[in-house]
Amino acid sequence: MARLLLRRAIHGALIIWLVATATFFLLHLAPGDPIAASLDSPLTPPVVRTHYRHEYGLDQPLSVQYGRWLVMMAHGDFGFSFPHRRPVSSVIASALPNTLLLMGVALLLSFVAGIALGLIQARHRGRPLDWGLGLGSLFFYSMPDFWLALMLLFLFAFVWHVFPVTGMFDPVMYPYYGFWQRVGDRLWHLVLPACTLALLSAAAIARFQRAALLDVAGEDFVLTARAKGVSERGVWLHHVLRNALLPVITLFGLALPVLLGGSVFVEKVFSWPGMGLLTVEAIGTRDYPLLCAAVVIASVLVIGGSFVADALYAVVDPRVRLE
């Protein structure tokens, strides 16, 4: 198993290297200055431009720059963000926890809801309930994330005034709250964005889980369990569900890129101060180093996530360990 994990880790490292290389060429092939769009302006004096180009090593040969880029990436240094007037890594360090919180909650919610929905559908296979839930989850699965976010915002925040409009906490009252009130306020602000993300991936997970459950439900040991007189509930929970949970672990790895992409839109709609909102703002301010850092970091998260999923799979499924 250690060998398996080591092999996976080496693959992961190779992929990160490929992504870092690709972003390097992306930055350098694109028109304009790779450090900051503001330097492209004809109003910028040539002296300033040469100064910055020298300071960031842009006057050196491409191979030297590429080497420096890789060293920088390895140290978690993504260059300087001119619009923020801080290193990109510090800008991201303040936003990443917010995104991870949002994604973590959404991931948990979507797996619980998705597995439960899949189980209900599989138990009622072919009946109206299965059909209705299937169509319902396809409906959410077919929605653009930002549109769902906008609609939930419109209905729950503006029409019914149930949840707050945007942000992570109440901008006025927050400093006056006690500890538990603060926690409550934050959770209250988390509901809509997390549910938007969770609804979309729960729909995908439910579709997958239903198929996995029905695969297992046809196995001989399920028939044996029924023949032994195990209750219908016991058959589904202890025999079918337990065996159909394995493939869902793979989904964990696959759900990450979807959630990361979705968080860009959800954070924009709800003004959630995370990586996604930073990325969207970086389009407007043409903050190229930040955009590239977002691509690299998101890829690292995805690779890390699928590594964890592989490791979990190996722990849970003895057949993988024997390979």
Partner 1 sequence: MHPLVWIAAAVLTTLACGAIARAGDGDSGSPWRIALTRLRDNHAAFAALCVIVALLIVAALAPWLAPYSPIAQPDIVRLKNLPPSLAHPFGTDFASRDVFSRALYGARVSLSVALLAIVVSASVGTAYGAIAGYVGGRIDTLMMRLIDAGLSVPRILLLIAVLALWAPVPLPVLVLLLGLTGWFGVSRVVRAQVLSLRERDMVVAARALGASDREILWRHILPNVLSPVIVSITLGIANVLIVEAGLSYLGVGVRPPSASWGNMILDGADEIASLWWISTFPGLAIVVTVMAFNLLGDGLRDALDPRQVDG
End-to-end Cα distance, the chain:
9
Q: Does 158 participate in binding partner 1 (rule CB under 8 A)?
A: yes
Residue 118 vs 145, nearer CB to partner 1: 145
Residue 9 vs 15, nearer CB to partner 1: 15
| Tokens read off for 245 | 């949970």
Residue 200 vs 241, nearer CB to partner 1: 200
Q: Does 25 participate in binding partner 1 (rule CB under 8 A)?
A: no
Beta bridge partners of 87: 80
Count CB-CB contacts under 10 A for residue 93.
12
Q: Does 206 participate in binding partner 1 (rule CB under 8 A)?
A: no
Q: Does 116 participate in binding partner 1 (rule CB under 8 A)?
A: no
Single out the residue of 87, 234, 257, 273 in contact with partner 1 (rule: CB under 8 A): 257
Q: Does 117 participate in binding partner 1 (rule CB under 8 A)?
A: no
Q: Which residues contact 297 (CB under 8 A, 6 or more apart)?
A: 92, 96, 275
Residue 150 vs 312, nearer CB to partner 1: 150
Q: Does 104 participate in binding partner 1 (rule CB under 8 A)?
A: no
Nearest approach in angstroms of CB 31 to partner 1 is 7
Q: Does 8 participate in binding partner 1 (rule CB under 8 A)?
A: no
Q: Which residues contact 27 (CB under 8 A, 6 or more apart)?
A: 34, 288, 289, 292
Residue for token digits 């954070």? 267
Nearest approach in angstroms of CB 11 to partner 1 is 7
Q: Which residues contact 264 (CB under 8 A, 6 or more apart)?
A: 276, 279, 280
Site for partner 1 in 278-297 (CB under 8 A): 279-280, 282-283, 286, 288, 291-292, 294-295
Q: What are phi and psi of 101, to 5 degrees?
A: -60, -50
Which strand (E) or helix (H) includes residue 251?
helix 246-269
Residue 241 vs 293, nearer CB to partner 1: 293
Q: Does 186 participate in binding partner 1 (rule CB under 8 A)?
A: no
Beta bridge partners of 81: 86
Residue 27 vs 205, nearer CB to partner 1: 27
Interface with partner 1: number of residues (CB under 8 A)? 49
Q: Does 261 participate in binding partner 1 (rule CB under 8 A)?
A: yes
Nearest approach in angstroms of CB 14 to partner 1 is 7
Count CB-CB contacts under 10 A for residue 292.
25
Q: Which residues contact 117 (CB under 8 A, 6 or more apart)?
A: 133, 137, 202, 205, 206, 209, 210
Nearest approach in angstroms of CB 199 to partner 1 is 13
286: alpha, beta or left? (left if phi > 0; alpha if psi -120 to 50): left
Nearest approach in angstroms of CB 229 to partner 1 is 33
Instruction: Output the CA–CA distances (angstroms, integers) from residue 214 to 59, 123, 144, 263, 317, in the order listed.
Output: 62, 9, 29, 31, 19
Q: Does 196 participate in binding partner 1 (rule CB under 8 A)?
A: no
Nearest approach in angstroms of CB 217 to partner 1 is 17
Q: Distance between CA atoms of 183 and 194, rounded to whole angstroms?
A: 16
Residues contributing to the site for partner 1 (CB under 8 A) = 11, 14-15, 18-19, 22-23, 26-27, 30-32, 135, 138-139, 141-147, 150-151, 153-154, 158, 257, 260-261, 264-265, 268-269, 279-280, 282-283, 286, 288, 291-292, 294-295, 298-299, 302-303, 306
